[in-house]
Structure 1
């Protein structure tokens, strides 16, 4: 079978990729760790086949990145930057797979590079970072399977799916949407290949250890997902459509509309187009966050680049396109990258609260150290620091030793599994609470009084600003009896 696809636009795509890498590297350490990154670093020190709220791949990659590139913010984020580079290249490859010219491939690389969601997850380590790369790779291999009819692409799909499950379970929604769309609109001949079962087997072998871990631990991920849906499900559903338009960039809306039409008109690829509305329905049904559907939307963006290139053949239209992409780059960078002074982040928080979550962790450790200093020296050997969430715990683990703080404990997510205070730790107990929790944690302890509050130097209203630090006489019962009550999955 003759390959009629255009040659890969190696030089221009490489230039776009290099610019992305340079920008992300230059800005990687401007603020500080995100709360999730602090958690990943600790999880990486407790390597396992699973955690209550996530599979093991992101903690493992975090540990590898800091081991190779240095135990710093910049060293940690090298792995995210490399994933971002892979995302840019994969977008160009998707465009090429659909017959996109060199200009269309370059445009696909530029389009993802200026999108808000890409810059947000490419700037820092998150499960969404590697999830985006995996979804795009699955989209690419699915298109190859549909274009060529070569069943051996099921092996690549199975391998990628297995690795994606080791990072984030949301990829199962993508697979469900693609399979249902393929069954409904065809062509169904791809399901007749003997390689399909081989692909399924590869996926199960690669993902199996984590699925086994979840099974023997009573599927805690389902509890976490249920909590997210209960807490935020209504808001997520209301904001789904607005954020689908905004989180990539409004400038890219014509791209993905053109991409949907382009794929829907081609019988061999139309299932990929219809998979997106099916995925949207699935996300809405479970009350998932709107960004869950964005990776497949980027596949539509890549598909739309050839029609957009043809539309922009006239000089005036090329100017409009260039201006639109420049506007998208500026707005996306301001919203998602650390280009503003930290003190200005209150203006960004309503749109992207993750920016502010990278500020103030050393100050939190300072406030905890000040509270710890109020415990008499002769009582510290039986005293405990207990935090309400994993961000606080991760910050104290990262910045506490240099401030003389001991091992801390938390009941949040996998921290509950990693260590519990001994019953001999009868108190005092220093509680690091969450501002919005109304000090509910104190009911588990006696004689609590607030001895400090968390305040960041930038003065921004992030999730920890104003967090009360309370000093309590001790737990209301031995830690071994109290510990089950302190577990929090969300």
Structure 2
């Protein structure tokens, strides 16, 4: 019942704030992808676009309607992590503390306020942890079916789940109980995962494994920064006040003889971290694994608090209050868009939820610079999927045609027909020496977008130009395609 109160409050807050800012650039992309259902996309498997399609169909194609799915995923994550606390022997107090800590942590607030691939990952990783712990505790091989189903769904959302599975596999191999590996149910679980994953893998294989290209680009472009920031961000993503809790969770299976069966989970976290450091992956990729560790650490931390004096508990309460306030400011749209500057220094995602209608206005003004007699054969060429998604959503009411972009899956949804031989309204610029600079020439500036209050986001300051295409779209498009 207390956990139910937590999730009810969580649902109320997320719903009340879900329409305060506009769509995030990624959400606009998911809405567009959901209208083109497939077994895969250049940079992701299909679950998040499918969720976007379902949520907007049921609740309306608005930020609030889209984010119903995110709210439901967030609620489910809190419930599952509280169940993990119970699975490892936590009483009602530990379950309640785990639910509150999960619901109020910075990362969870940020990714359940909006729909992202990370939103579903939180739930799926937590489910794998719960089912895996139940398997290890009971030795009942039938839980391999549940693990396989959750892993298959994880692969249909984001292939980072392979890191979690490898970490848990190494944990079981090192610390046991290894008996769970000596059962035919393991093969059955692998079969369930394979059946769920097969269409996604086949799609990627038939399209030249584009997700691996995208992942390689992330590592190449951001790998050094990701490695430098990895450890500090582990301490900050959930909340600094929760660091002692998940560290206690790491240590608990080794210290508590009754929880030795759970050591694989504690081993999985450092294994995943090492893998991410080697790959140059983003620091937040490992955060979903911190939530089960919070569940593990809740009971010993509560026992410690019960033994401390009044002063220590008061100081802890102050620290918790400060960190909760910081989490809310960072993760939820509680400040006016014009006051987002300090927040963006920590979390840039709110800035990507502001200014898209104004961006469409800027493009409409640039489109009006094209002579009326030439607009039937003109093309709007967006530089990235966020711009294209915004124009696809906001453009029709401003009299704009279907936009095109050679970025990510928008490249698969092009090219423009070869009959469109008129001016190209280019959003952004062609980098010198790039194929675009050779194919799109004669550009003259016709506008510049300024975000509301000159907000520092990715579209602030982007230039618009009228240009000429030197080859037919059908031959130019493969050369214009880009993944970053």
Q: TM-score range by the shorter chain?
A: over 0.9
Is 2:90 the counterpart of 1:100? yes
Deviation at 1:320, TM superposition (A): 3.9
Is 2:79 the counterpart of 1:89? yes
Deviation at 1:86, TM superposition (A): 0.5
Partner of 1:7: none
Partner of 2:18: 28
Partner of 1:488: 482
CA deviation digits over 1:213-254, x for unaligned, max 9? 111111111000000111100000000000000111100000
Q: Considering only aligned residues, what root-mean-square deviation do their CA atoms show, in Å?
A: 1.4
Q: Is the 8 A contact 2:427 2:463 kept in 1?
A: yes
Q: TM-score, structure 2 length as denominator?
A: 0.97
Deviation at 1:41, TM superposition (A): 0.3
Deviation at 1:180, TM superposition (A): 1.1
Partner of 1:8: none
Is 2:27 the counterpart of 1:37? yes
CA deviation digits over 1:19-53, x for unaligned, max 9? 11111111111110000000000000100000111
Partner of 2:226: 236
Partner of 1:289: 282
Is 2:392 the counterpart of 1:397? yes
Choose the corresponding residue for 1:178, options 155, 168, 173. 168
Partner of 2:358: 363
Deviation at 1:263, TM superposition (A): 2.0
Partner of 2:417: 422
Is 2:323 the counterpart of 1:328? yes
Partner of 2:69: 79
Deviation at 1:442, TM superposition (A): 4.5
Partner of 1:432: 427
Distance 2:355 2:42 in 1: 27
Deviation at 1:267, TM superposition (A): 2.0
Distance 1:326 1:78 in 2: 28
Distance 1:196 1:37 in 2: 37
1:443-482 to structure 2, matched below 5 A, reads: 443-472=438-467, 474-482=468-476
Distance 1:329 1:398 in 2: 35
CA deviation digits over 1:79-101, x for unaligned, max 9? 00000000111111000000001
Is 2:299 the counterpart of 1:306? yes
Q: Is the 8 A contact 1:114 1:328 kept in 2?
A: no
Distance 2:117 2:314 in 1: 37
- 1:288 is paired with a residue whose SS is coil
Is 2:261 the counterpart of 1:271? no
Give the aligned length: 478
Rate the CA distance shift 1:372–1:442 in 2: closer, same or farther, 3 A: farther
Partner of 1:161: 151
Partner of 1:194: 184
Distance 1:327 1:140 in 2: 30
1:37-76 to structure 2, matched below 5 A, reads: 37-76=27-66
Partner of 1:383: 378
Deviation at 1:344, TM superposition (A): 1.3
Distance 1:111 1:175 in 2: 25
CA deviation digits over 1:361-420, x for unaligned, max 9? 111100100000010111011100001100000010010000000011100000010121
Q: Is the 8 A contact 1:49 1:56 kept in 2?
A: yes
Which stretch of the first structure deviates more once superposed, 294-303 or 443-452? 443-452
- 1:199 is paired with a residue whose SS is helix
- 1:477 is paired with a residue whose SS is coil
- Stretches of structure 2 lacking an aligned partner (at least 5 in a row): none
Rate the CA distance shift 1:263–1:53 in 2: closer, same or farther, 3 A: same
CA deviation digits over 1:116-149, x for unaligned, max 9? 1100101000000000110011001111001111
Distance 1:269 1:156 in 2: 18
Which stretch of the first structure deviates more once superposed, 274-283 or 474-483? 474-483
Choose the corresponding residue for 1:12, options 2, 7, 18. 2
- Stretches of structure 1 lacking an aligned partner (at least 5 in a row): 1-10
- 1:409 is paired with a residue whose SS is coil
Which stretch of the first structure deviates more once superposed, 324-333 or 21-30? 324-333
Distance 1:193 1:292 in 2: 31
1:257-268 to structure 2, matched below 5 A, reads: 257-265=247-255, 266-268=259-261
- 2:455 is paired with a residue whose SS is coil
Rate the CA distance shift 1:247–1:107 in 2: closer, same or farther, 3 A: same
Deviation at 1:297, TM superposition (A): 1.3
Rate the CA distance shift 1:380–1:74 in 2: closer, same or farther, 3 A: same
1:111-190 to structure 2, matched below 5 A, reads: 111-190=101-180
Choose the corresponding residue for 2:236, options 246, 250, 269. 246
CA deviation digits over 1:141-162, x for unaligned, max 9? 1110011111010000000011
Which stretch of the first structure deviates more once superposed, 146-155 or 457-466? 457-466
Q: Is the 8 A contact 2:406 2:414 kept in 1?
A: no
Which stretch of the first structure deviates more once superposed, 306-315 or 382-391? 306-315
Distance 1:164 1:416 in 2: 25
CA deviation digits over 1:310-351, x for unaligned, max 9? 112156254444333322221011011111110111211121
Rate the CA distance shift 1:281–1:365 in 2: closer, same or farther, 3 A: same
Which stretch of the first structure deviates more once superposed, 305-314 or 88-97? 305-314
Distance 2:367 2:10 in 1: 43
